[in-house]
Chain A
Amino acid sequence: MNWPPNNKVLYGTLLIVAVLAPILFPNYQAQMAYMWLMVVLAMTWDIQGGQMGYNSFGNIIFFGIGMYTTAVVQRAMFFNFDDYEQTAGTLHAITASDYVTSLVVGGAGSAILCVIVAVVLGSAVLGLRGHYFAICTLGLGIAAGEIAGGIDFIGAGSGMVTPVFPDGLGEKGLFFYIIFFTLAVLCHFTLKKLYAGRFGLTLNAIRDDEDKAEAMGLRTTRYKSVAWAVSAFFLGIAGGAMGNLIGYIDPIDTAFAGSTFGVWMVLMAILGGKGTIWGPVIGAIIFHITQELLWTLLFGWQRVALGAIIVAIVVFFPQGIMGFIRDRWPHLMGQTVDKSLTADKSKEGAA
């Protein structure tokens, strides 16, 4: 894909905007940190949902596993288990350098654990096709939340508290803004690199016709597992940082939050246009801004609106924003249109 025509200009502009945004609007740093988190969520969902053609409703498990792992690592590094439980993490404030160290170690631990879980689970679950996979992952996501709510080691149903954000690291919002922005950038370039090569082509082949891909000698389950592991890697780190940003982990409402983040990542990816590299980014940014601006106007009807929006997008606008642009102005995407074939082309784009 040649779009955008000039990468340097685009990336330069985005970088300037991303650097200036928290400086110009210091009151919204935390919200903007959330926005980059959303971008990561949408991009990682799109690996399955868009490129691979597998509806995954359970990617949230990696988010939750990452969140818990980071919190457990932080607790194990600096706190006595019993003290921590009794004082809910408030008694001992840890120093800035310890905090950063624990976050790095925790993040690495989360990433590794999530990749392992993805590969192990994936070898079993990713053998399933289509709707079986979709409902299986739906079950996985909820089972994970229910199980986490019953394990005393991680606080069971009453949840876990993450360490208090220490002095000396500047604004909490800015700190996490930098983390999530870096993560989003890393995720973007990793995916770009992966999609450009054989890996991306294989995923697309699986989406288009898995039987034929298999007949061509591609080890499809292996590729699918690796793709899931890539998702899990980024989701694990994002979850770990998210736990620290919120400061409190509830098994069902924050960690394995199927009804918020789990749904949002699907919605954002299909809104922006699944199967494109910029679609999820655009979808996430639009969704997050809309959510911040208009959500409060809905007076508790937000989640109803969420369901309605999903239905509306899926039924009436399945190609998403990027897909719409591709259909409407194909030359922007570096696609040339043979005038004699225009009618067929529009059908192809919608498929």
Chain B
Amino acid sequence: MWDNLLILVQAPIFNLQLLVDGILIGAVFALAAYGMALVWGVMNIINIAQGEFVILGGFVTWWLASKGMNPFLGIPASFIVLFVVGWIIYKIVIRRVVDQDLFISILATFGISILLQQLMNLVFDSDVRTVESGLGTYFMLDNTITVAEIKVVGFVLAIALGLTLGAFMTKSKIGQAIRATAQNARAARILGINTDRVYAVTYSLNAAICGSAGALVVMTWNVQAFQGLAYTVRSFMIVVVAGVGNLPAVVISALGLGALENFAGFILGIEFQMAFIFSLLVVILVWRNFRLKKHRQVLR
């Protein structure tokens, strides 16, 4: 651990490498976190199955690529497939738990998460999967920094997708209906908005966003059936730090988390990276709660 820290001090260029890599992957976290904030804000549900949607999106892309399709077409394909999956899950399960207390909805999404995770394990095996994007690598600053082209492309695509979604939420009719429902579901219903439909679209849209994030993940990184929970926890952390309705903060904290995670993985060793993420979650929550406690409030 100290050796690795020493490397960072002696060769500062490594810091830049880790930072760039981390920020580039952070954009994907931002997408998943944005979806979680959407469902949280509109439906008051914490979707524990979030990470499974990401992984499923990755597997869809991997499967299509193995059938000879261009992996970049996997992004819209995963979007559509996951939209349908989200819609089905909403119709069967989520619709029945939207109005109930959090105790029920969190257990229900927890069950969905286990269901999807084990289903993917059976269908796609427990192997780690990745897709070759066929893009090259940039070498910068006298070859001291290497950046895979796909990471940059993934970053740009993630940002583009985020901006499109932002525009969709403010400009389109259904986006406005979603925001109205988030503000006051009862008033929205009185004004003739079909909130059940809004919920369905919100949940499916969330699944679809996660799906295309997963398509980016499988090209830049890799996916495995049991990695889902890490993405759920990352999204949750990002939303907790940024706040539910604050999109710029979500993006910034996602990029920050990506960088932080990359540094931690390098310093502590890759085997502790998961431990770091989950411990960081505990630390963040306890710290936030501790700060609020001074004002005699709690996280809600």
Contact = CB atoms under 8 A, between A and B. Distances in A.
Q: Are A and B subunits of one complex? A: yes
A59 B242 CA distance: 28
A341 B65 CA distance: 62
B298 A314 contact: no
Contact of B293 (A57, A127, A147, A259): A127
Nearest to B112: A311
A142 interface: yes
A149 interface: yes
B123 to A, nearest CB: 10
Contact of B108 (A134, A309, A314): A314
A301 interface: yes
Contact of A304 (B46, B97, B115, B272): B115
B176 to A, nearest CB: 27
Contacts of A125: 282, 285-286
A266 B106 CA distance: 12
B278 A270 contact: no
A304 B274 contact: no
Nearest to A135: B236
A143 interface: yes
A306 B114 contact: yes
B104 interface: yes
A128 B286 contact: yes
B282 A311 contact: no
A131 B93 contact: no
Interface in B248-300: 269, 271-272, 274-275, 278-279, 281-282, 285-286, 289-290, 293, 298-300
Given A129-B299, A129-B300, A138-B233, A303 B114 contact: yes
A227 to B, nearest CB: 16
Contact of A131 (B102, B112, B233): B102
A132 B289 contact: yes
Q: Which of A130, A135, A146 has its CB near the most chain B CB atoms (within 10 A)?
A: A135
Contacts of A140: 278, 282
B115 A311 contact: yes
A139 B272 contact: no
Q: At the interface, is chain B mostly helix, strand, loop or mixed?
A: helix
Contacts of B46: 131, 134-135
Contact of A146 (B96, B97, B118, B274): B274
A284 interface: no
A124 interface: yes
Given A135-B46, A150-B272, A304-B119, A128 B298 contact: yes
Given A127-B293, A131-B46, A315-B96, A136 B281 contact: yes
A128 B292 CA distance: 11
Interface in A296-328: 300-301, 303-304, 306-311, 314-316, 318
B63 interface: no
A167 to B, nearest CB: 40
B110 interface: yes
A146 B269 CA distance: 12
Interface residues of A, number: 42
A263 interface: yes
A240 interface: no
A132 B118 contact: no
A308 B122 CA distance: 15
B236 A259 contact: no
A53 interface: yes
Contact of A135 (B116, B281, B289): B281
B113 interface: yes
B118 A307 contact: yes
A139 B97 contact: no
A55 interface: yes
A263 B114 contact: yes
Contact of A127 (B111, B113, B286): B286
Given A135-B46, A138-B229, A150 B282 contact: no
A132 B300 CA distance: 8
B163 interface: no
B2 interface: no
A160 B119 CA distance: 30
A128 B285 contact: yes
Contact of A266 (B107, B116, B269): B107
Contact of A136 (B96, B119, B285, B293): B285
Interface of B: 46, 48, 93, 96-97, 102-104, 106-108, 110-119, 121-122, 229, 232-233, 236, 240, 269, 271-272, 274-275, 278-279, 281-282, 285-286, 289-290, 293, 298-300
27 contacts: A57-B110, A124-B290, A127-B286, A127-B290, A128-B285, A130-B103, A131-B46, A132-B299, A134-B46, A135-B236, A135-B285, A139-B233, A139-B278, A142-B278, A143-B279, A149-B271, A150-B272, A157-B271, A259-B114, A300-B122, A303-B118, A304-B115, A304-B118, A304-B119, A310-B111, A311-B115, A315-B93
Interface of A: 53, 55, 57, 124-125, 127-132, 134-136, 138-140, 142-143, 146-147, 149-150, 157, 259, 263, 266, 270, 300-301, 303-304, 306-311, 314-316, 318
Given A135-B106, A147-B272, A314-B107, 16 more contacts: A124-B286, A130-B103, A132-B289, A132-B299, A147-B279, A149-B271, A266-B107, A266-B110, A303-B118, A303-B121, A306-B118, A307-B111, A307-B116, A311-B93, A314-B108, A314-B111
